[in-house]
């Protein structure tokens, strides 16, 4: 890594010879394979943009020129070229973020990592600089072909077409994939732009000449790349972009630094909006990442760099529990269909798609469209199951509210990665859903506490045909089932207070504390009970299962408690706020203490580290409640 270590910033790249550039690309690729295999991270996407990112930084002058990555998980090479060489704690607490981070570098701008936003950022930045009279600064948006399926891109392009004089360059990183293969009309259109067989065969011939006779071959290859009107325009239809008035360059081999630099310099010098179409290969240069089923290298855990095989075998996941039950339901009910937004594999829909391919809709990175389409499917007599990460439901809140809830459509939402997810940082924590859902009239929300309850909740959710339903669960491996000791209506009682003849609590006495464990936090609630019972407190632990709206059964249990605590892995005020409001509506003066995630953007770290940092652990909650109980237990609640 001798050459890579000398690169402390983009200016160092500009002094490199062509041979050194190729050496640097090889060093970076080797470093990514070695380092990410130790920490986990987005390996495949970054291997695909090594040469492209080097070319960007050799042509443009970051941070004076602004380079935006859509999405930010392709920013590892950018980090290395801007002087961040220590990947030993990538995505770990105190280490480098897995996405661009303003706290790390002035070279980083957009860190939210939700796809399809870069063009809106770009026209905003470029227009703002124009209004401020700042000249000579370019804005570059690097956007994957998968992100082009998002609606915001087309809203932005429509706007950009009105401002074609802006120094704005759009680089399409076209690898035919988002998480998995990109689908839809845009994917088909880009496929036509990738070149007809005639264009591809001529370029392949040029590359062969380059390998045989480097000097003559390079001249031939460069000439072919430069023959825009003589070759590419004849065989490649780029009309849609040019019909918008956007200058189009390409397709360009994204793994040929020299070809990329040539195209980017032409775009730089053009003096207006230019779209550069770069062809790349996800996982390029690493055989395991380009083999069959290579999409598992989109994001990896710790792996053997030689084989690409995982070093740590994870157990059965929450997603597995959902996936298996959906297939079972699909066999029983022909009206059940599934929708995903370019996340077929990670949300567990692939088995359902293999069994019922005609009943799965992958709409691309288009959550808003997915939700309203689901409303339409419901109206047509089907029961759609919309599967997204909890963080991405934020993007379709209006459609959930106005298209599904207002119209009382029977649509089931399955929110994977709910709560604190940890290593992907602030934008990927699924911590907003319960607070947002609490504002939606008629919605019914289940938070399963274990794998068995995932199946049970899903089965109950798809029976509801007059309102949207939601089933949410966290990331990772699912633990052992948490058994209920009894059931009160819809509420499972997980721990009873000790009652008996020896001066303990009688059947008529109120319990000191009713702990409501929401979803996976039920296990934490039980630990809290252990600690408080050891202090002599009488504690009942319950799981309401269907957490919104607050059930009558939970209200009745609260009548028999002096204090109520709600433990949830959502923003404070989610379920706790709804419980507090419901008890107030019933005229109960029982104090309700909420323990959840603070309304803050949380830095990356493991889930356990983040929970400890925010005080959402059994020790922290028990200590807080112990103090509150000591000062507030004064009598029976009203």
Q: b/e map of 50-64 (b: 16 or more CB within 10 Å)?
A: bbbbbbbbbbbbbbe
Neighbouring residues of 63: CB distance < 8 A, sequence distance ≥ 6: 106, 107
Q: How far apart are CA 1 and CA 31, in angstroms?
A: 7
Query: 395 an active-site residue?
Result: yes
Neighbouring residues of 136: CB distance < 8 A, sequence distance ≥ 6: none
State both tokens at 126: 């470029």
Relative orientation angle of helices 18-39 and 257-270, to the nearest 10 degrees: 100
Q: How far apart are CA 481 and CA 546, in angstroms?
A: 17
Q: How far apart are CA 126 and CA 274, in angstroms?
A: 13
Nearest one of 280, 312, 308, 278 to 293, comparing CA atoms: 308
Helices (H), 161-246: 185-193, 197-212, 214-226, 233-235, 239-243
Q: How far apart are CA 472 and CA 454, in angstroms?
A: 8
What Rg do the C-alpha atoms of the chain give, in angstroms?
Answer: 28
Find the catalytic residue in 395, 417, 472, 580: 395
Q: How far apart are CA 46 and CA 37, in angstroms?
A: 13
Helices (H), 497-551: 522-533
Phi, psi of 510 (to 5 degrees): -70, 145
Query: 472 an active-site residue?
Result: no
State both tokens at 110: 């957009």
Query: 282 an active-site residue?
Result: yes
Check if the beta carbon of residue 456 is closer than 8 Å to that of residue 322.
no
Nearest one of 153, 5, 142, 137 to 71, comparing CA atoms: 142
Please, what's the largest Cα pairwise distance for the chain?
A: 98
What 3 state SS string does 568-583 have?
Answer: EEEECCCHHHHHHHHH
Find the catalytic residue in 129, 282, 359, 562: 282
Tell me if 556 is assigned to a ligand binding site: no
Per DSSP, what are the bridge partners of residue 139? 66, 168
Find the catalytic residue in 51, 176, 261, 367: 367
DSSP states along 411-431: -EEEEESBB---TT-GGG-B-
Tell me if 65 is assigned to a ligand binding site: no
Q: How far apart are CA 116 and CA 182, in angstroms?
A: 14
Tell me if 51 is assigned to a ligand binding site: no
Phi, psi of 237 (to 5 degrees): -85, 105
Tell me if 619 is assigned to a ligand binding site: no
Tell me if 618 is assigned to a ligand binding site: no
Residue count of the chain: 638
CA atoms within 13 A on the CB side of 451: 16
Per DSSP, what are the bridge partners of residue 173? 144, 278
Check if the beta carbon of residue 567 is closer than 8 Å to that of residue 575.
no
Tell me if 101 is assigned to a ligand binding site: no
Neighbouring residues of 543: CB distance < 8 A, sequence distance ≥ 6: 449, 482, 484, 491, 492, 494, 516, 517, 518, 522
Per DSSP, what are the bridge partners of residue 565? 515, 593
Tell me if 73 is assigned to a ligand binding site: yes
Tell me if 530 is assigned to a ligand binding site: no
Helices (H), 87-184: 118-131, 151-160
Residues at the binding site for Mg(2+) are: 145, 175
Residues at the binding site are: 73, 113-115, 145-147, 175, 286, 367
Active-site amino acid positions: 282, 367, 395
Residues at the binding site for thiamine diphosphate are: 73, 113-115, 146-147, 175, 286, 367
């Amino acid at each position: 890594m001798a050459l890579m270590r000398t690169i402390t910033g983009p200016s160092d790249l500009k002094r490199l010879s062509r041979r050194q550039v190729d050496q640097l690309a090889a060093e970076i690729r080797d470093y990514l394979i070695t380092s990410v295999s130790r920490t986990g991270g987005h390996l495949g996407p970054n291997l695909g943009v090594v040469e492209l990112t080097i070319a960007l930084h050799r042509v443009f002058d970051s941070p004076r020129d602004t380079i935006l990555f859509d999405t930010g998980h392709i920013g590892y090479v950018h980090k290395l070229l801007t002087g961040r060489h220590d990947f030993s704690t990538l995505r770990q607490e105190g280490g480098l973020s897995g996405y661009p981070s303003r706290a790390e570098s002035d070279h980083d701008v957009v860190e939210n990592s939700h796809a399809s936003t870069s063009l809106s950022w770009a026209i905003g930045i470029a227009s703002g600089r124009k209004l401020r009279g700042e000249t000579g600064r370019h804005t570059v948006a690097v956007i994957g072909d998968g992100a082009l399926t998002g609606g915001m891109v087309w809203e932005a392009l429509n706007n950009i077409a009105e401002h074609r004089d802006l120094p704005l360059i759009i680089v399409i990183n076209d690898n035919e994939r988002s998480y998995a293969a990109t689908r839809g009309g845009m994917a088909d259109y880009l496929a036509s732009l990738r070149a007809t067989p005639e264009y591809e065969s001529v370029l392949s011939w040029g590359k062969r000449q380059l390998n045989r006779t480097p000097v003559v071959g390079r001249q031939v290859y460069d000439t072919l790349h430069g023959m825009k009107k003589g070759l590419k325009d004849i065989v490649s239809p780029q009309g849609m972009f040019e019909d918008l008035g956007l200058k189009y360059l390409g397709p360009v081999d994204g793994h040929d630094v020299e070809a990329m630099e040539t195209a980017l310099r032409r775009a730089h010098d053009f003096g207006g909006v230019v779209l550069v179409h770069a062809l790349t290969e996800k996982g390029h240069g690493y055989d395991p990442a380009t083999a069959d089923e290579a999409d598992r290298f989109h994001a990896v855990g710790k792996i053997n760099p030689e084989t690409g095989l995982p070093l740590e075998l994870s157990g059965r996941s929450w997603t597995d529990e959902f996936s298996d039950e959906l297939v079972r339901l699909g066999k029983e009910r022909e009206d059940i269909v599934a929708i995903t937004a370019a996340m077929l594999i990670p949300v567990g829909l692939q088995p359902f798609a293999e069994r019922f391919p005609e009943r799965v809709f992958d709409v691309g990175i288009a959550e808003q469209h997915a939700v309203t389409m689901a409303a339409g499917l419901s109206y047509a007599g089907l029961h759609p199951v919309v599967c997204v990460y909890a963080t991405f439901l934020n993007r379709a809140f209006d459609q959930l509210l106005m298209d599904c809830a207002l119209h009382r459509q029977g649509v089931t939402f399955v929110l994977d990665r709910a709560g604190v997810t940890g290593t992907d940082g602030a934008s990927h924590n699924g911590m907003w859903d319960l607070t947002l859902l609490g504002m939606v009239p008629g919605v019914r929300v289940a938070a399963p506490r274990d794998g068995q309850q995932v199946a049970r909740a899903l089965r109950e959710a798809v029976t509801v045909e007059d309102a949207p339903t939601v089933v949410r669960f966290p990331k990772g491996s699912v633990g052992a089932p948490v058994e209920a000791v009894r059931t009160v209506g819809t509420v499972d009682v997980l721990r009873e207070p000790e009652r008996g003849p020896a001066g303990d609590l009688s059947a008529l006495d109120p319990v000191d504390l009713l702990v409501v464990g929401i979803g996976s936090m039920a296990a934490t609630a039980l630990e809290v009970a252990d600690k408080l019972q050891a202090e002599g407190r009488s504690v009942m632990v319950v799981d309401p299962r269907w957490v919104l709206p607050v059930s009558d059964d939970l209200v009745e249990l609260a009548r028999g408690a002096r204090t109520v605590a709600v433990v949830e892995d959502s923003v404070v005020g989610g379920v706790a706020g709804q419980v507090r409001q419901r008890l107030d509506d019933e005229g109960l003066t029982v104090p309700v203490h909420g323990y959840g995630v603070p309304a803050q953007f949380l830095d990356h770290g493991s889930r356990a580290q983040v929970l400890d940092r925010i005080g959402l652990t059994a020790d922290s909650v028990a200590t807080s409640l112990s103090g509150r109980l000591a000062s507030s237990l004064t009598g029976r609640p009203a």
